[in-house]
A and B are shown apart, each in its own frame.
Chain A
């Protein structure tokens, strides 16, 4: 048992570090540190820079355009990215639909869509949740009815993040009514320019335009855009359960960036003439978060070691997500404390707001959704109880 990297891994780390040093502009830093996504144009530029280096899809197999890295290399890549103030790659194409396409899709779908994900020529959004189908996704009601060479989609999707910029959407829809709700659901790939798609922005508490309702009104999708077999769409999600360990791990590996933001805010601001970070009460709170972040980092390393050896790590991905979202929420709340009275200066009515304030506050607001999306904390607890504890 050891925590060491091999000489080859250390050499890889230096290469990655050098790449990030020249790729990441300084102006991304406060947004990234607040755990916020960059604007789509910046994310696309970043993805294209990675793709040009051959690192566009770090977790994919070589045959589909991945670099064929080991889990240790993936860890090094993400931790160096975090260290350099780089953002997390946009995951809906790379981690959600890409792997389903290369695992279950036809050759035609692979050829058509995988390069566009790696090169950021396409932007994918996810059409899963509906107004009546959130945590209980299997109760979804959107229908896809076969009509000649097409499926005709009707229904309403909700919480479709980045539908406003996406070129494509992957949609779960009901192709038949079956006694078991998880059956009769199919996965379709939809071009967002298809007639019959309407988008409505959902205003969210972080005042950032992220998510939408998507209305599907007689949207005609070529039958060739069905992934895998009709009616088996629910099962394809399972491939993601395994892969989501990587997604959770990546976000968790980036947590120290948030703590850097908190630390900087607390160095900048004074209380009673002393930098806040030197006051014992604040320092103790930051230390507590650092300690829990260290525990989380080590959990992630164990998860990656399981991945490397092909071992089943059970629902430890759920544990990582729970711990990460809790720490992210507490870290941004502490950032707010560090802002002090300036926490009330979110938007300047004229002139400028304090430099790091809007991002820190937006992070604190945004953090609230991380225990709701991607399987709420309550659902994650259910998963762990059922799968790990046999309850």
Chain B
């Protein structure tokens, strides 16, 4: 048993912290957000230069074949500095979805060098977060397919050049690759409260390329999403750590009634509960990430447990960080509210705590 980073992973963590401190300093968030497009472009360029985009791509696909723990080392830094990046969707989720298929070789090369971005459309209007709820229809055969349907939400998909989407063929749930500018595809773009940019897709006879075997996509989709979830868990942990650190600093320096407010026992106890929530979340993040190689049912059980619990812990820490800061915590001029908003959206992404508790019920409580 070993919960330590290797030297290489420590270097990744260090470089993530440097990139964050350099491009996304916490002191003037609103000014950074006013310059969003430029800063995110510079962030993506640096990530490409550092090899991060290549890291999660398998060696057989021409990537560096980095491990989930390597990704964790980066993502804790992303969370700590609240870097609004599409890294998880683009460089973790999509490569895991399309890995091994020659039809995706060009796409993976482009993702790895940072010349294209991709995102995955896996959720539909009546399915909630259920990856197996697919009504989008695929017709055709061989290299020649067209898709018709709707994808309700594409995480970090607003600026994607390519979409990987699920659709149903006669054989069942399958994966397809679609160009963002394909005729018949309507992309609606949205901004979330944490500044991430997402998309909704309407597909009306859109030309697509089949990825992998028709009808056999669901297990691959579930594994890829579990990997993306683990990257998000690490991001949540990094963000919680930063929010707690800023709160402790505030408790030590803010004075009311003639004393530092950190001298009040009720606030001390709250800070302790935040520290416990962070420790709990970190433990669950490690546990889920280290379980990604287990058989599917066991892996999904652990990942769902971690997703639910880290979501709850993250919301607790984010909300209490705002509460203990009082009015300035609610203002957007401090970094604190931005941590809470990211925690709120991380809890939703790839399934809310509620969804994952339900999945856990099916796998453990009823399924065992």
**Contact surface of A with B, Cβ cutoff 8 Å:** 129, 132, 134-136, 139, 158-159, 202-205, 207, 269-273, 276, 279, 281-282, 285, 329, 333, 336-337, 340-351, 353, 361, 364-365, 368-369, 371-373, 376-378, 381
Contacts and interface: CB of A to CB of B under 8 A. Distances in A.
Contacts of A337: 352, 354
Interface in B106-160: 123, 125-130, 133, 152-153, 155, 158
Nearest to A131: B328
A345 B200 contact: yes
B3 interface: no
Interface stretch (B14-22, B222-230, B280-288, B336-344): B336-344
A347 B191 contact: yes
Contacts of A349: 158, 189-191, 197
Contact of A340 (B129, B198, B329): B129
Interface SS of chain B: mixed
B178 to A, nearest CB: 19
Contact of B198 (A129, A158, A344, A361): A344
B326 A203 contact: no
A341 B333 contact: no
Contact of B256 (A139, A272, A365): A139
B323 interface: yes
Nearest to B338: A205
B208 to A, nearest CB: 22
A271 B333 contact: no
A103 to B, nearest CB: 28
B30 A159 contact: no
Nearest to A341: B153
Contact of A203 (B30, B126, B188): B30
Contacts of A361: 193
A373 B329 CA distance: 12
B341 to A, nearest CB: 6
B197 A204 contact: no
Given A135-B256, A205-B331, A350 B189 contact: yes
B23 interface: no
15 contacts: A136-B257, A204-B330, A205-B322, A281-B357, A282-B354, A285-B354, A336-B348, A337-B352, A341-B153, A342-B152, A349-B197, A350-B189, A372-B329, A372-B330, A378-B267
Contacts of B329: 372
A348 B266 CA distance: 42
Contacts, number: 138
A348 B332 contact: no
A368 B322 contact: yes
A368 B338 CA distance: 13
A317 to B, nearest CB: 20
A344 B153 contact: yes
Contacts of B327: 129, 134, 158-159, 369, 372-373
A351 B188 contact: yes
A202 B333 contact: yes
Contacts of A279: 358
B41 interface: no
B126 A346 contact: no
Nearest to B33: A203
A272 B354 contact: no
A329 B357 CA distance: 21
A364 B128 contact: no
A345 B191 CA distance: 6
Interface in B232-285: 255-257, 264, 266-267
A341 B348 contact: yes
Nearest to A357: B190
B302 interface: no
B326 A372 contact: yes
Nearest to A368: B322
B168 interface: no
A109 B80 CA distance: 54
Given A270-B126, A281-B358, A361-B193, A342 B332 contact: no
A343 B190 contact: no
B333 A203 contact: yes
A270 to B, nearest CB: 4
Contact of A344 (B340, B348, B358): B348
Contacts of A204: 330-332, 337
Interface in B314-328: 315, 319, 322-323, 326-327
B35 to A, nearest CB: 15
B154 to A, nearest CB: 9
Given A340-B352, A368-B322, A368-B340, 6 more contacts: A134-B256, A271-B130, A276-B128, A281-B358, A346-B193, A353-B190
B182 interface: no
